[in-house]
């Protein structure tokens, strides 16, 4: 275990295995991956969990439709999520499956604890349930006979165990007030608070009309409500609340599942005498050419085909950079191509290619001889590079992910302006020493850009570093500016890192 490092525990939701992964799933986990990689490079002891949510009526029905047993069904779909994680180059430390016996045993212990603490009682549930959302709704919440999400609901009347959620309203409201950063973005926080203020009902936490779930201890007639089972994955995955990673620093979730994470989850934890997580951040949803993504509309975007078409790092980049984290956003091919070409190809790619090709051609492929003295203009560009890390760090800690990436792009723009202004191609005939200093300064800046790009573009950043004759630099190397290049040492012939995209139509 890394001694003395501060821990950072980040989780994605665990995905329902009723369907194959799509861009929305890739998005949620990608945002976690970006943050996890950033924190590792910044010296934290990171644990990043993702996985699959495999129980409940929705999955049982999907298995039935597929004509296979639930366990065979979940085994085959879960693997697709695991494959996506490796194809997307996600750096998760844990891939949790709720069908694993260690998870099931853990949740059974939790059930006993909640029972012992007096928070569970037996009764009968009569009300609406949406299998698609795996959620209970009150009559007042329905919109034209459907769930507020548009999902179909069905009337359920069955014996059930209940969790005394209503007893937690005041504690939750106090918790939100004492921890103003627990729910972000702020608009979402206000929605949650007004929902809790409107009055919480006790929550049905077991079902008797189907079988595919974790058995309730000592009552085989019931299986647990899938959300009680699923939420505790964040603890079962790290071996319980005594783990050094608990409480979690950040749960990233989509806006559709915020209620479960911001209301039920802390209430369950309070009821089990456990610490509550530090933050839940709810991100927005992707649409396809402006339309909601759904199987029935036939417009589901498959992340694997995007990778095949555009390349992995471009997909990773687009997902994070295109929309302010927390807002909804739209995918279309022209938007994608424009974003990549304008920022990665024309800005960062052009910068490094200009400098490195010039050095190959006019400096014999060697690091130019640095005079040892920077001008104030050089210094201000170098200072911008050094300070970029701190600016990015603050944005990452506030989950302003697209702005955090923007810091690197702004640095690239500043470096491009510096080249244009200092014109090394002109200096070559009038002041070779100044030309060398300008190129040397630019090498340092490109190095910082490559280091900062690592969490979002791990492969491309590595290629960029290789072009500079470096590898695997972490954030502590940023402040050692002017120390990592040796004048006169050979640089490899640069390879193109960011090829230009062209439209497929
Ligand atoms: N199994 C639950 C989560 C349990 S966590 C203890 C679940 N699974 S899900 O597979 O339906 O959705 C997982 C995530 O994918 C959610 O965060 C959801 O917001 C996200 N997305 C699904 N479609 C999406 C888009 N079109 N756009 C962005 N994200 C979306 O809910």
Give per-residue pLDDT as tens, 208-218. 999 999 999 99
**Average pLDDT of 380-386?**
96
Question: What is the distance between the alpha carbons of residues 368 and 353, in angstroms, rounded to a whole number?
Answer: 16
pLDDT score at 299: 87
φ, ψ at 453 (rounded to 5°)? -75, -15
pLDDT score at 479: 80
Q: Find where tokens 């509309």 sit.
A: 297
Residue 193, preceding bond cis, omega within 30 degrees?
no
Question: In the predicted model, is pLDDT for residue 298 greater than 90?
Answer: no
Is 207 close to ligand 1, i.e. is its CB under 6 Å away? Answer: no
Integer angstrom CA distances of residue 226 from 47, 222, 261, 486: 24, 12, 13, 59
Q: What is the mean pLDDT of the chain?
A: 95
Q: Find where tokens 């009682």 sit.
A: 121
Pick from 138, 140, 113, 116: which is nearest to 127 by CA?
A: 138
Probe residue for ligand 1, chosen from 10, 11, 12, 13 as the CB with the greatest number of ligand atoms within 8 Å: 13
Is 408 close to ligand 1, i.e. is its CB under 6 Å away? Answer: no
Q: Is 390 exposed, middle or buried (0-12, 13-18, 19+ CB in 10 A)?
A: exposed
Is 27 close to ligand 1, i.e. is its CB under 6 Å away? Answer: yes
Cα-to-centroid distance, 299 and ligand 1 (Å): 17
Is 250 close to ligand 1, i.e. is its CB under 6 Å away? Answer: no
Contact by Cβ (8 Å): 98, 59: no
Nearest CA to ligand 1 atom 22: 24
**Average pLDDT of 164-172?**
98
Contact by Cβ (8 Å): 474, 451: yes
Cα-to-centroid distance, 406 and ligand 1 (Å): 26
Work out the pLDDT band at 291, boundaries 50, 70, 90. Answer: confident
Nearest CA to ligand 1 atom 10: 15
Model pLDDT for residues 58-110, shown as the tens digit of each residue: 999 999 999 999 999 999 999 999 999 999 999 999 999 999 999 999 999 99
Is 14 close to ligand 1, i.e. is its CB under 6 Å away? Answer: yes
**Average pLDDT of 234-239?**
98
Share of the chain above pLDDT 70, in %: 99
φ, ψ at 127 (rounded to 5°)? 175, -170
Nearest CA to ligand 1 atom 13: 15
Which atom of ligand 1 lies closest to the CA of 19? Answer: 10
Model pLDDT for residues 105-133, shown as the tens digit of each residue: 999 999 999 999 999 999 999 999 999 99
Which atom of ligand 1 lies closest to the CA of 13? Answer: 5
pLDDT score at 472: 73
Probe residue for ligand 1, chosen from 227, 252, 254 as the CB with the greatest number of ligand atoms within 8 Å: 254
Cα-to-centroid distance, 453 and ligand 1 (Å): 27
pTM of the predicted model as reported, rounded to 2 decimal places? 0.96
**Average pLDDT of 443-455?**
96
Question: What is the distance between the alpha carbons of residues 133 and 153, in angstroms, rounded to a whole number?
Answer: 9
pLDDT score at 505: 65
Contact by Cβ (8 Å): 99, 134: no
Report helix, strand and coil shares of the chain as percent, to nearest 5. 50, 15, 35
Is 285 close to ligand 1, i.e. is its CB under 6 Å away? Answer: yes
Model pLDDT for residues 265-280, shown as the tens digit of each residue: 999 999 999 999 999 9
Cα-to-centroid distance, 266 and ligand 1 (Å): 19
Alpha helices in 311-400 (DSSP H): 312-322, 333-339, 350-362, 376-397
Work out the pLDDT band at 3, boundaries 50, 70, 90. Answer: low
| DSSP summary character for residue 249 | S
CA angle 450, 453, 457 (to 5 degrees): 115
Work out the pLDDT band at 408, boundaries 50, 70, 90. Answer: very high
**Average pLDDT of 366-370?**
96
**Average pLDDT of 339-360?**
98
| DSSP summary character for residue 201 | P
Work out the pLDDT band at 454, boundaries 50, 70, 90. Answer: very high
Which atom of ligand 1 lies closest to the CA of 284? Answer: 28
Question: What is the distance between the alpha carbons of residues 455 and 447, in angstroms, rounded to a whole number?
Answer: 14
Contact by Cβ (8 Å): 132, 87: no
Question: What is the distance between the alpha carbons of residues 203 and 147, in angstroms, rounded to a whole number?
Answer: 17
pLDDT score at 311: 97
Question: What is the distance between the alpha carbons of residues 340 and 460, in angstroms, rounded to a whole number?
Answer: 13
Cα dihedral sign for 463, 466, 468, 473? positive
φ, ψ at 433 (rounded to 5°)? -65, -40
Cα-to-centroid distance, 238 and ligand 1 (Å): 22
| DSSP summary character for residue 469 | T
Question: What is the distance between the alpha carbons of residues 305 and 459, in angstroms, rounded to a whole number?
Answer: 19
Cα-to-centroid distance, 24 and ligand 1 (Å): 7
pLDDT score at 480: 75
**Average pLDDT of 291-301?**
82
Is 133 close to ligand 1, i.e. is its CB under 6 Å away? Answer: no
Pick from 424, 416, 403: which is nearest to 446 by CA?
A: 416
Question: In the predicted model, is pLDDT for residue 1 greater than 60?
Answer: no
Which atom of ligand 1 lies closest to the CA of 15? Answer: 10
């Amino acid at each position: 275990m890394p001694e003395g490092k501060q821990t950072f525990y980040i989780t994605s939701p665990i995905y329902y295995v009723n369907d194959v992964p799509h861009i929305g799933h890739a998005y949620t986990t990608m945002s976690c991956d970006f943050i996890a990689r950033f924190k590792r490079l910044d010296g934290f002891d990171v644990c990043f969990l993702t996985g699959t949510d495999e129980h409940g009526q929705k999955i049982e029905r999907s298995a039935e439709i597929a004509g296979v047993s639930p366990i065979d069904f979940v085994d085959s779909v879960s693997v697709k999520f695991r494959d996506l994680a490796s194809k997307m180059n996600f750096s998760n430390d844990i891939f949790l499956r709720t069908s694993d016996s260690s998870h099931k045993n853990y949740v059974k212990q939790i059930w006993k604890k909640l029972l012992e603490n007096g928070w569970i009682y037996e009764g009968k549930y009569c009300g609406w349930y949406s299998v698609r959302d795996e959620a209970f709704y009150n009559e007042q919440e329905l919109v034209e006979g459907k769930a507020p999400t548009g999902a179909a609901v069905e009337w359920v009347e069955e014996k059930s165990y209940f969790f005394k959620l209503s007893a937690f309203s005041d504690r939750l409201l106090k918790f939100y007030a004492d921890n103003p950063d627990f729910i972000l973005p702020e608009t979402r926080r206000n929605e949650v608070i007004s929902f809790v203020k409107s009055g919480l009902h006790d929550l049905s936490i077991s079902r008797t009309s189907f079988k595919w779930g974790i058995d309730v201890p000592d009552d085989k007639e019931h299986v647990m409500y899938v959300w009680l089972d699923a939420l505790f994955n964040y603890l079962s995955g790290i071996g319980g609340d005594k783990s050094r990673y608990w409480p979690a620093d950040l749960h990233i979730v989509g806006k559709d599942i915020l209620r479960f994470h911001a209301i039920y989850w802390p209430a369950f934890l309070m009821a089990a005498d456990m610490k509550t997580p530090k933050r839940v951040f709810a991100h927005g949803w992707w649409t396809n050419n402006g339309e909601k993504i759904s199987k029935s509309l036939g417009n589901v975007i498959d992340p694997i085909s995007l990778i095949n078409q555009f390349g992995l790092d471009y997909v990773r980049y687009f997902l994070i950079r295109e929309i302010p984290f927390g807002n909804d956003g739209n995918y279309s091919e022209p938007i994608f191509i424009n974003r990549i070409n304008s920022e990665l190809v024309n800005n960062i790619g052009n910068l490094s290619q200009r400098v490195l090709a010039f050095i190959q051609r006019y400096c014999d492929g060697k690091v130019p001889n640095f005079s040892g003295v920077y001008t104030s203009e050089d210094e201000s560009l170098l200072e911008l590079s050094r300070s970029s890390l701190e600016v990015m760090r603050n944005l990452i800690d506030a989950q302003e992910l697209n702005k955090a990436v923007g810091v690197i792009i702004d640095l690239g723009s500043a470096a491009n302006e510096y080249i244009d202004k200092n014109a090394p191609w002109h200096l070559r005939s009038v002041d070779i020493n100044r030309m060398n200093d300008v190129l040397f300064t630019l090498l340092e800046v490109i190095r910082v850009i490559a280091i900062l790009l690592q969490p979002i573009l791990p492969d491309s950043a590595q290629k960029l570093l290789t072009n500079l004759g470096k590898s695997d630099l972490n954030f502590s190397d940023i402040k050692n500016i002017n120390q990592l290049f040796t004048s006169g040492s050979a640089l490899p012939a640069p390879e193109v890192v960011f090829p230009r995209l062209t439209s497929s139509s």
